[in-house]
Amino acid sequence: MKQKFAGRMLAAVLGAGLAVYALVAYATLKPGDHAPLFDAQASLGGNAYQYSLADQLKKGPVVLYFYPAAFTKGCTIEAHEFADAVDDYKALGATVIGVSHDNIDTLKKFSVSECRSKFPVAADPDAKIIKQYDASMPLVNSMANRVSYVIAPDGTVIYEYTSLSPDQHVANTLQALRDWTAKHKTQ
């Protein structure tokens, strides 16, 4: 009995250790890091086009958010919240783009129904962008974790937030933009 219990405890400790390792191994970019530029096929309002982060940064800050999969419960909630806040982002001179491993055909539908044709979503089926941003789901490299970045026009990450809960991504990125805008108006 004691051996069985000891074996289970060892398995639990090792499992916890691997989980911690996975979280550490997949650390996200941090404020001050340079955001990798990318071009990707995206959809806005059901229309596919080539999205360029470099081109968007010329217009102002970009809120780049990664999400696990279109049409899942949390990702749908998050898309609705970003869509509802698009005017707030615009008022701060920012644009929003979502990225997932989904293919462009799925995202054409998602961009209309869940993003409400308010902001684009980019397809990253090979997880290249997800990996560049260290936004992989722990232990599932091809799928994005729920990570939001605010990127300044010079390409610097000014804010990062990671949480599988979709609840605070919009509020936190808006606050980061407000803080950044206030700081840069006084300079």
Q: Tell me: the pLDDT tens digits for 121-152?
A: 999 999 999 999 999 998 877 899 999 999 99
Which run of H or E residues covers position 160?
A: strand 157-162
Per-residue exposure over 37-76, b if at least 16 CB sit within 10 Å of its own CB, e if not: ebebebbbeeebeebebeebbeebbbbbbbbbbbeeeebb
Catalytic residue (choose from 63, 75, 127, 137):
75
Q: Which two tokens mark 46?
A: 């059901």
Domains and CATH numbers, the chain: 29-185 (3.40.30.10)
Task: Examine the residue annotation and report whether 75 is marked as an active-site residue of this protein.
Answer: yes
More confident residue, 101 or 15: 101
pLDDT in tens, 27-80: 589 999 999 999 999 999 999 999 999 999 999 999 999 999 999 999 999 999
Structure confidence at residue 186 (pLDDT): 60
Identify the pLDDT of residue 16.
Answer: 39
Contact partners, residue 106, CB within 8 Å, separation at least 6:
70, 71, 123
User: CA 144 → CA 28, 34, 75, 125, distances in Å?
Assistant: 11, 19, 11, 10
Helices (H), 26-168: 53-57, 73-91, 104-113, 128-132
| Per-residue pLDDT at 142 | 82
Put residue 66 in one of left, alpha, beta given phi > 0 → left and psi -120 to 50 → alpha.
Answer: beta
pLDDT value of residue 27 = 59
Would you state the pLDDT for residue 101? 97
